[in-house]
Amino acid sequence: MGYALNFNLIWRHFDKLWGGLLLSLELAVISIAIGIVIGLVLAVWYVSAGRIVRTIIAAYVEFIRNVPLILLVYLVFYGLPTVVDIAYSAPTSFVVTLSLYSGAYLVEVFRSGLEAVPRGQLDAGKAIGLTPWQRLLNVRLPTMLRITLPALSNTFISLFKDTSVASVISVPELTYGAQWINFNTFRIVEVYLVVTAMYLVTGYIMLFALRLVERRFRAAR
Amino acid sequence: MSTSSTTVPALLDVTDVSKSFGTVQVLRSVSLQVARGEVVTVIGPSGSGKTTLLRCVNFLESYDSGSIRIDGKEVGFRETGARQRRSERDLAAMRAETGMVFQSFNLFPHLTAAGNIMLGLTKVRGKSRAEARTIAEHWLGRVGLAHKADSLPAELSGGQQQRVGIARAVAMGPKILLLDEITSALDPELVGEVLEVVRSLAEDGMTMVMVTHEMAFARDASSRIIFMADGGVSAAGPPAEILAADTDNERLRTFLARFRASHF
């Protein structure tokens, strides 16, 4: 085996990777933001709703969690436009998919957090005369957030890595950039080494930032 | 100190309140009147319904029948027509008129001592943050914690947390204060500082209903003691009468005997 590592070709096309990383982050941030809204609304609804609503929300969560993300991506990008009259770009389609996907995971995180808020705190909120809405905003959500932060960090990083699936529908994110360089230069080892490092470093920076936030909140307990 | 035999209408009027959890009846036709300025202590074995009664007074628990009135106003149910639960908004407004202090403190962990007190003042009483802060500092001073205004609950001892809990309740200016075994979760050496605060509130004329196992405190601080057993009021009267060793109420005698045996 006389494979000599040569990174020159990778650096020549590094703009593909850099641009890809930025797009990956953009896809992740937008999808997670929408996912947080979906997750929060459904989780709050779930803990206060009756059996029918709970069943529907649970069905959504179970469906998403038991179907591989790649299949969901195909379904939304290729399947949906053939059934209903919509057209969207691959990145938009992926954001829709990853938002629904992250929403399902975040419902679970937020729901368990809301249920873990000690009953006594809610009683205390009632006892000083807060309305249900005020109790949710001023007592339940802040405590839930502090309980769920570690789980949230893990979910966010996981979702960032999931953006690599967008490469299957040719969204030019980081993994797609790697594939492009591979096809055009055949430097398969080098390009995937570089891309792996880029995912790792980005993941660690995210983790570090989220741990800082956690620490700040934990100090405030 | 006023007594139960005043002609003035009672501030708290509990009439024939019954409640069941499933098949277990926890309150059996309980009636209790508390006059303005009175300090009433509820004692009894665990499971006798003391805490449930207290939680019904500010409608943290609903009840099946009977009526609870504070200052003449029905607490949990609409006063006209069929028995119907008040709206959440009305319930919140009613609850703001009663203060409650809990066994496990239940401070909001993300807010400072002052922040805990200010939350109700700003959100419920509509005070500005500056006004609320002034009131919070005043009450923290009253409970001896002026220097802890910006401490988080986790940074306070149990006794300090409970004093913040009391300040949070009284700062709202409630008509009546409900104290639910507020020293039971405290280390023995911290009980005194909390009871001292309660005593000073009593001296100020605050109307209080407290559930406690601190018999000596109940004897000294209350105008009346209610003994509950099996969800009903078994005996009621002035401390000297209720805590007498030779009472002819057998349940009460057994309770007191057991209590003395385990506490002395």
pLDDT tens-digit readout, B77-94: 988 878 889 999 999 999
Report percent pLDDT > 70 for chain A. Answer: 97
Question: Quick one: average pLDDT of B242-252?
Answer: 84
Which is more confidently placed, A212 or A86?
A212
Q: Lowest mean pLDDT: which of A166-170, A180-184, A216-220, B36-40? A: A216-220
Asked if pLDDT for residue A220 goes beyond 70, the answer is no
Interchain CB contact of B88 with A (< 8 Å): yes
Interchain CB contact of A139 with B (< 8 Å): yes
- CB contact under 8 Å between B108 and A131, yes or no, is no
**Assigned CATH for A8-219:** 1.10.3720.10
Nearest Cβ partner of B109 from A130, A138, A143?
Answer: A143
Query: By CA distance, what is B156's nearest residue in A?
Result: A221
How far is residue A83's CA from residue A69's CA, in Å, rounded to a whole number?
Answer: 20
- Is this model's pTM higher than 0.90 or not? no
How far is residue B191's CA from residue B182's CA, in Å, rounded to a whole number?
Answer: 9
How far is residue A1's CA from residue B139's CA, in Å, rounded to a whole number?
Answer: 80
- CB contact under 8 Å between A128 and B154, yes or no, is no
Question: Quick one: average pLDDT of B56-81?
Answer: 91
Q: What is the pLDDT of residue A215?
A: 84
For residue B254, the distance in angstroms to the closest alpha carbon of chain A comes to: 32
Confidence bin at B2 (pLDDT 50/70/90): very low
Domain-embedded: residue B170 = no
What residues does each domain of chain A span? 8-219
Asked if pLDDT for residue B105 goes beyond 70, the answer is yes
Q: What is the pLDDT of residue B1?
A: 47
- CB contact under 8 Å between A128 and B104, yes or no, is no
Domain-embedded: residue B101 = no
Domain-embedded: residue B50 = yes
Number of structural domains in chain B: 1
- CB contact under 8 Å between A127 and B100, yes or no, is yes
Q: What is the pLDDT of residue B264?
A: 52
Q: What is the pLDDT of residue A93?
A: 94
Q: What is the pLDDT of residue B227?
A: 94
Question: Quick one: average pLDDT of A190-205?
Answer: 93
Q: What is the pLDDT of residue A190?
A: 85
pLDDT digit string (tens) for B174-233? 999 999 999 998 888 889 899 999 999 999 999 999 999 888 889 988 999 999 999 999
For residue B208, the distance in angstroms to the closest alpha carbon of chain A comes to: 15
Domain-embedded: residue B109 = no
Q: What is the pLDDT of residue A71?
A: 96
pLDDT digit string (tens) for A114-152? 999 999 999 999 999 999 999 999 999 999 998 899 899
Paired sense of beta strands B24-34 and B12-21, if any: antiparallel
Domain housing B34: 1-94+221-264
Mean of pLDDT over chain A: 91
Domain-embedded: residue B20 = yes
> Which residues in chain B are closer than 8 Å to A140, comparing Cβ atoms?
none
One-letter amino acid at A103 equals G
Mean of pLDDT over chain B: 91
The DSSP code sequence of chain B is ---TT-SSPPSEEEEEEEEEETTEEEEEEEEEEE-TT-EEEEE--TTSSHHHHHHHHTTSS--SEEEEEETTEESSB-SSSS--BPPHHHHHHHHTTEEEE-TT----TTS-HHHHHHHHHHHTS---HHHHHHHHHHHHHHTT-GGGTT--GGGS-HHHHHHHHHHHHHHT--SEEEEESTTTTS-HHHHHHHHHHHHHHHHTT--EEEE-S-HHHHHHH-SEEEEEETTEEEEEE-HHHHT-TT-S-HHHHHHHHHHHHHH-
> Which residues in chain A are closer than 8 Å to B92, comparing Cβ atoms?
126, 129-132, 134
Nearest Cβ partner of A127 from B60, B93, B107?
Answer: B60
Interchain CB contact of A141 with B (< 8 Å): no
Nearest Cβ partner of A129 from B108, B110, B120?
Answer: B120
Report percent pLDDT > 90 for chain A. Answer: 68
Which is more confidently placed, B114 or B1?
B114
What backbone torsions phi and psi does residue B179 show, to the nearest 5 degrees? -115, 115
Residue B46's domain is classified under what CATH number? 3.40.50.300
Interchain CB contact of A148 with B (< 8 Å): no
How is residue A148 annotated by DSSP? H
pLDDT digit string (tens) for A118-127? 999 999 999 9
Nearest Cβ partner of A123 from B89, B98, B102?
Answer: B102
Q: What is the pLDDT of residue B7?
A: 59
Domain-embedded: residue B84 = yes
- CB contact under 8 Å between B58 and A127, yes or no, is yes
